[in-house]
Amino acid sequence: MTEVAPAIVWFRDDLRLSDNPALDAAACRDRPLVCVYVHDSKPGGRRLGGAAQWWLHGALAALEAALAAYGGRLTILHGGEEPSLVPLAIACQASAVFWNRRYDEAGRQVDERVAAALAGQGIEVGTFIGHLLREPWEVTNRAGAPFRIFTAYWRAACQRDAPATPLPVPQSLRFHGLRENSAIRPVALASLRLEPHGPDWAGGLRADWKPGEAAGQACLEAFIAGGIDGYGIGRDRPDRPATSRLSPYLRFGHVSARQVWHAVAAAQEAGRAKAEDVLKFLAELGWREFCYHLLLHQPDMAQRNLQSRFDAMPWRDDPAALHAWQRGRTGYPIVDAGMRQLWATGWMHNRVRMIVASFLVKHLLIDWRHGEAWFWDTLVDADPANNPANWQWVAGSGTDAAPYFRIFNPILQGEKFDPDGAYVKHWLPELRLMPTAFVHKPWSAPRDVLAMAGLRLGTDYPHPIVDHAAARARAMQAWRSTEAS
């Protein structure tokens, strides 16, 4: 009996079974499936940072288990994507290969080459939108050009039809009994060495996160049940569990943007979420869409200022200050708490991300690219679009940027958004006995207060590495120099 030619589903940043258009299209062909993930240790694009690699290991393990529950397996290949996928398709005599589109330049170039090579072998190719609500090229201004300002982009996007209804897991999944041969050499997940090896720095990540589709869906459900109420105001409070924490699950595709959109909209329709909270949250999802809109049209935005006048910015080369910032030793508690949360858990509250980024770029006058690279290596949700776009927004060099002269005062930011100092005291236990009046500026406390708190400035906790007023004046002078150039 002739074996039915299989269809290949190529998983990338869509590590889930539900609302996976590529998987759904393959299953609808009523052909046995080969589910594959190709790990390229030397990609043409940007290699994943350490925290994201840790997450990817857990994500692939979860996908392996999910497929096994349906009687299938995940075939993991190690090597270049094109020289791995095309021989696989030929060797198993695949009738078609399906994948969900990606939008970084290197990834798109690989996809084009793979599609051409497969077509040359007479193998059908099907690609779909699975990572975003809308394709980045779909929303344009009246002249047909890309948007540069988020508010205008989001206004235009919201005038379009609502995102399509999410797809369920296909009712029928059957799998191809892939036989190994010289062209097909699957590897074990452990052989990719994505987890840390000596020392093991991921203990905090394991304690805080569980990768995978089931965990992502549980996170979304928990947010709808208890987090979205009051989101519009609470989202700026790092001392409260008032954000969704969905970012890494979206980054690796454990939940889709469409699933999130429709779950939030359904909560509003059912009276479980207020309109103002829903609109604010969906705008955050819209910002993610806008970042991909920028990435499509500005593919090098992790390296290049989107406003060229910032090329003249007199950045400082200060390794000691950069190291103090990275390790949470700047002497400004809200900054240090955020950086220590990042180091421990691979994640940081969004308001604090803005504060620490502003501090690096404006107080320390260090090039935003150093901060972007540090976040890329330490964030579990490090995203090729969001990460550079957010850094350029804070730096003032982006297309839709906060003005450079908007310089966050880290003391006032801490007092406003962490008024009792609970967030700071959690991540800086050396300040746990500081009175609220001084927790965001311990250097201003009288000696007797410091003594009662058991705090020795300069020993237990550093003095500020830069004076706020002086740093602000220096930043403004540097910005004016770019205006004059």
Residues annotated catalytic, as ranges: 284, 287, 315, 350, 368, 391
Q: Cα-flanking dihedrals φ and ψ of residue 95, to 5°?
A: -85, -25
Give 291-294 contacts, CB < 8 A, sequence gap 24+.
Answer: 291/383, 291/385, 291/386, 291/389, 291/390, 292/103, 292/131, 292/132, 292/136, 292/385, 293/136, 293/139, 293/146, 293/147, 293/153, 294/146, 294/385, 294/389, 294/398, 294/399
Cis peptide before 333 (omega within 30 of 0): no
Q: How far apart, in whole angstroms, are the C-alpha atoms of residue 322 and residue 35? A: 43
Count the neighbouring beta carbons within 10 Å of the beta carbon of residue 99. Answer: 26
Q: How far apart, in whole angstroms, are the C-alpha atoms of residue 183 and residue 206? A: 36
Q: Cα-flanking dihedrals φ and ψ of residue 38, to 5°?
A: -110, 120
- Written as six digits, the tokens of 469 are 């007023």
DSSP per-residue string spanning 222-250: HHHHHTSTTHHHHTT-TTS--S---HHHH
- Written as six digits, the tokens of 294 are 């920028």
- Written as six digits, the tokens of 214 are 């089931």
C-alpha dist (Å) from residue 18 to 153, 296, 481: 29, 26, 52
Q: How far apart are the first and last CA of the chain?
A: 75
Q: How far apart, in whole angstroms, are the C-alpha atoms of residue 195 and residue 114? A: 29
Q: Cα-flanking dihedrals φ and ψ of residue 179, to 5°?
A: -100, 135
Residue from 282, 310, 305 nearest 294 by CA: 305
- Written as six digits, the tokens of 204 are 């905090």
